[in-house]
C-alpha cells in the first residue's frame, strides 16, 4: 500500500479499532493483540508481546511496520488507583519497551498519552504547562511520556481525549450515552467536569498529518471546543435525535469515586492547529460523522470485532 504498514498496539482497544477503520484503505494495518482476539475486515491482527524490548524488537522486525502507534494501556482510572504497580508496569514500562524496540528498528512511533495529567484547576492546558497528576493513572501516563522521550526522542507523544465506537466488552463513553437514551434510561452526567474531546478518526487523521510533517515531541490533539460532560451528552443526544431530557446534571464533586479526578481536562491544541494549518474539529461535526459511521455499519462491525 502507498503508505506502508501501520502497527497499532492495544489492537482490541477502543482507539486502535477506530484508528484501524480510519486508515485501512490507505495503510496495511496490523493490530497488535494481547488477551483479546480481533477480526476486522481489511485489517490483520497479530499477537504482540510487549513485556521485553529485545523480544519486541524481533517481533517488529518480523512484522516490518513503517509506523507504530502505541495505544495499549491500562485505561481504567480506578483500577490504576487500586493497583499502582500494575498501572506503572502496563502504562509506563511497556511504553518504554515499545519505544526501545522502535528505536532499535528505526521505526517511527506515536505514543498515545492523555489529557489527564493536570490538576484541572483551570482550562486549556498547553504542552509546556507543568503536569500535576492527581491519581495513579495520570502518574503512570506521565512516567510513560518521560520514558518514551528518553528511549526515542523523535517519538510523537500525543495528549488527547477521544470518543468512538467500542466493542461488546468495551463500551465507550458515547456508546453508554446512546445506548442508555435508546433504552429510555435516565442517566446522570457531570456538569462540573470539562474536557475537549475529539472523534477517534479525527485524532488518527491529525496524527498522520503531523507524522507526515515529521513532527516529534509532545503535542496536544484535542477537539476545538471545551464542554462539560453534561453538555457533551446533551449535544450528542440532539445530534442523534434522542431524548436529551433523560440526561440529568450531576456533580463529580458529589460522587464517591475511587480515584481523584481533575475537574478540567481541557487541552489547548493551538500548536497542532498551527502545524496543520487547520482546525481539529467541532463537536457537532464529530457527532454527524459518528452518525454517518453508524449508518455505514461501523458500530455493528466493531461491536462484534473482539472476542476473548
95-98-103 Cα angle (round to 5): 125
Question: Which C-beta is closer to ligand NAP: that of 35 or that of 62?
Answer: 35
Of 65-73, 186-194, 242-250, 283-291, which part binds ligand NAP (CB under 6 A)? 65-73
Judged by CB under 6 A, the residue of 6, 8, 13, 110 near ligand NAP is 13
Of 7-15, 145-153, 218-226, 271-279, which part binds ligand NAP (CB under 6 A)? 7-15
Between CA 193 and CA 293 the distance in angstroms is 27
- Contact status: 14 vs ligand NAP (CB under 6 A): yes
First to last CA, the chain: 30
User: Which residues inside 28-57 make contact with ligand NAP, applying CB under 6 A?
Assistant: 33-36, 50
Size of the site for ligand NAP (CB under 6 A): 26
User: Which residues inside 216-245 make contact with ligand NAP, applying CB under 6 A?
Assistant: none
| Shortest Å, Cβ 12 to ligand NAP | 4
| Shortest Å, Cβ 300 to ligand NAP | 18
- Contact status: 183 vs ligand NAP (CB under 6 A): no
H-helix or E-strand spanning residue 56:
helix 53-63
Q: Which residues pair with 30 in a beta bridge?
A: 7, 44
Please give the full DSSP string across 101-160, using - where no structure is assigned.
HHHHTT-EEEEE--S-SS--SSS-B-TTSPP---SHHHHHHHHHHHHHHHH-TT-EEEEE
H-helix or E-strand spanning residue 181:
helix 173-182
Pick from 270, 265, 272: which is nearest to 132 by CA? 265
Judged by CB under 6 A, the residue of 71, 92, 215, 271 near ligand NAP is 71
Judged by CB under 6 A, the residue of 170, 209, 273, 291 near ligand NAP is 170
- Contact status: 134 vs ligand NAP (CB under 6 A): no
Q: Do the Cβ atoms of 286 and 198 come closer than 8 Å?
A: yes
Which residue ranges make up the site for ligand NAP (CB under 6 A)? 10-15, 33-36, 50, 71-75, 90, 94, 112, 114-115, 141, 160-162, 170
Amino acid at each position: 500500500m502507498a503508505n506502508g504498514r501501520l502497527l497499532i498496539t492495544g489492537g482490541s482497544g477502543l482507539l486502535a479499532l477506530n484508528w484501524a477503520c480510519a486508515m485501512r484503505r490507505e495503510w496495511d494495518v496490523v493490530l497488535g493483540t494481547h488477551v483479546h482476539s480481533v477480526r476486522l475486515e481489511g485489517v490483520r491482527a497479530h499477537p504482540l508481546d510487549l513485556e521485553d524490548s529485545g523480544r519486541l524488537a524481533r517481533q517488529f522486525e518480523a512484522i516490518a511496520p513503517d509506523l507504530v502507534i502505541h495505544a495499549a494501556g491500562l485505561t481504567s482510572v480506578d483500577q490504576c488507583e487500586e493497583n499502582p504497580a500494575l498501572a506503572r508496569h502496563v502504562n509506563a514500562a511497556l511504553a518504554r519497551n515499545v519505544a526501545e524496540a522502535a528505536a532499535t528498528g528505526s521505526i517511527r512511533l506515536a505514543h498515545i498519552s492523555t489529557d489527564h495529567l493536570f490538576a484541572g484547576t483551570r482550562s486549556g492546558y498547553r504542552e509546556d504547562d507543568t503536569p500535576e497528576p492527581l491519581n495513579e493513572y495520570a502518574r503512570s501516563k506521565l512516567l510513560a511520556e518521560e520514558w518514551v522521550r528518553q528511549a526515542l526522542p523523535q517519538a510523537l507523544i500525543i495528549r488527547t481525549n477521544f470518543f468512538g465506537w467500542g466493542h461488546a466488552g468495551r463500551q465507550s463513553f458515547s456508546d453508554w450515552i446512546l445506548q442508555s437514551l435508546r433504552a429510555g434510561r435516565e442517566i446522570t452526567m457531570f456538569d462540573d467536569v470539562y474536557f475537549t474531546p475529539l472523534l477517534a478518526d479525527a485524532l488518527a487523521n491529525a496524527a498522520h498529518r503531523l507524522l507526515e510533517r515529521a513532527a516529534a515531541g509532545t503535542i496536544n490533539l484535542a477537539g476545538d471546543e471545551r464542554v462539560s460532560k453534561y453538555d457533551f451528552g446533551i449535544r450528542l443526544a440532539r445530534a442523534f435525535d434522542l431524548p436529551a431530557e433523560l440526561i440529568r446534571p450531576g456533580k463529580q464533586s458529589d460522587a464517591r469515586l475511587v480515584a481523584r479526578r481533575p475537574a478540567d481536562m481541557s487541552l489547548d491544541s493551538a500548536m497542532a492547529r498551527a502545524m496543520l494549518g487547520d482546525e481539529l474539529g467541532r463537536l457537532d461535526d464529530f457527532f454527524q460523522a459518528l452518525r454517518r459511521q453508524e449508518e455505514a455499519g461501523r458500530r455493528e462491525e466493531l461491536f462484534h470485532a473482539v472476542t476473548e
